[in-house]
Amino acid sequence: MQIFSTALLFLGAVLLFANYFTKHCCDKVEVKSSIDKQRVSIENPLVYSFEITNKKLLILPVIKIIFTLPTSFEIETDKKIVQAEKIDQTTYVYTITTSLLSYQKVKKRIKFIPRKRGYYLLRVSVRLLDFVGIRNVSLIENQETVILVHPRGNKEVSSFVDSNSFQGNQIISRWILQDPIFYSGVREYDQRDSMKDIDWKASAKSNRLLVKKYDATSDTEIVAFLFAEYKDRFQHDYDEFVENSIEMIAFMIKEAYRYQIPFGMATNLTMKNKMNDLCEVTSGKLHMIQLFDFLSCISDYAGYSPIDYMKTNFSSFEKKNRIFIMFIYEINEPYSKMLNQLAKFGYKIKIFVYRSCTVLLHSSIELYKLKGEKNTNESYQ
């Protein structure tokens, strides 16, 4: 009987404490959270900081900080205090448990490293648990933070280095602007040259300083298109095509910004955050960030066909002095008809294709493989 009475008293005390815990703990516990940046490139860490303050004479035995992350993010902290649980093929839940004494402040810094470019939602919850785990008080519940992971933009391809101008084949006698990406060779370093133009590989081989020699052109505007068909998504190498294309476009954007050349972007792939699927042609630091945001938000799903996309949106890009650089998984007959028509109208077109091209294209169209060397292409009649 005495044991039963003691147990009953203990249970009553626990319930009273649990009710008190639920009603009054939140009032005296302050939580501050922040993230150091919301835009980051692949492999570049970001830090989530927490400051939890207990402003009352009460020990809070268990505090859980729960992160819901995509599997492409890795948490970099002591594995002994972090519990990881995989919910599905795309999501991990990381739980960090700590305690908080009376009038104590706890600070936590959790470092994450993204492994893949994209548009992500990072969710955070902070919860208090009582001594016996009866009450679970939520201080923050699924607080969302948008993270944009930019591509690296350092995918330079050796096959680009030839006599073909990145901004067009039309070389003029009055030099207006150096070609920013494709260069035609090397020459001896001169004191007037910028250090950023030094070709370090060629210099190491020849044991003397050599700089990249550029062509010049009057063309000053570029538009990159990333196109795919819905059926392409089911090919085993389709993801590789999308990611390689985005890395190369990012490299081109950086080079265009370096030389202050207006650059635009468009795609028929859907955008993860409902961003517009085309980005205007302009230049500047803010525009470069906008373009990288654009690249981060591209999904792998083709919303509608490239032909329909061009019919709807081509008027936004139809200035004659623009160069169209197109990234295409595979060129079919409708593609080639559209491209040849544009070439006949005098537009400058460069195509980077992932699958081998078996259709005839206009002789003015420059055709590259996305992997490997430049294709040879028969003239279009």
Position 166 confidence tier, pLDDT thresholds 50, 70, 90: very low
* Residue 4 falls inside a structural domain: no
Structural domains counted in the chain: 2
Per-residue model confidence (pLDDT) at position 79: 59
What range does the domain containing 47 cover?
A: 28-150
Per-residue model confidence (pLDDT) at position 173: 32
* Residue 325 falls inside a structural domain: yes
Q: What is the pLDDT of residues 313-362, one digit of tens each?
A: 888 888 777 889 999 998 888 888 989 998 988 888 999 988 877 888 88
Q: What is the pLDDT of residues 52-69, one digit of tens each?
A: 887 776 666 677 888 888
b/e burial code for range 154-169 (CB count within 10 A of at least 16 → b): ebebeebbeebbbbbe
Q: What is the pLDDT of residues 5-28, one digit of tens each?
A: 665 555 555 555 555 555 556 667
Shared domain for 177 and 252, answered yes or no, is: yes
Q: Which amino acid is at 47?
A: V
Per-residue model confidence (pLDDT) at position 183: 54
Q: Are 215 and 170 in contact (CB under 8 A)?
A: no
Shared domain for 47 and 190, answered yes or no, is: no
Shared domain for 249 and 352, answered yes or no, is: yes
Q: Over 50: is that where the pLDDT of 159 sits?
A: no
For the chain, what percent of residues have pLDDT higher than 90? 21
Per-residue model confidence (pLDDT) at position 273: 81
Secondary structure (DSSP) of 319-362: -TTEEEEEEES---HHHHHHHHHHHHTT-EEEEEESSPP-S---
Q: What is the pLDDT of residues 263-300, one digit of tens each?
A: 999 999 999 887 888 999 998 899 999 999 999 999 98
Per-residue model confidence (pLDDT) at position 128: 76
* Residue 276 falls inside a structural domain: yes
Shared domain for 129 and 168, answered yes or no, is: no
Shared domain for 252 and 311, answered yes or no, is: yes
Per-residue model confidence (pLDDT) at position 41: 93
Shared domain for 220 and 74, answered yes or no, is: no
Position 154 confidence tier, pLDDT thresholds 50, 70, 90: confident
Q: Are 175 and 275 in contact (CB under 8 A)?
A: no
- What pTM does this model have? 0.74
Shared domain for 285 and 324, answered yes or no, is: yes
Q: Which two tokens stand for residue 104?
A: 């104590």
Per-residue model confidence (pLDDT) at position 80: 59
CATH number at residue 142: 2.60.40.740
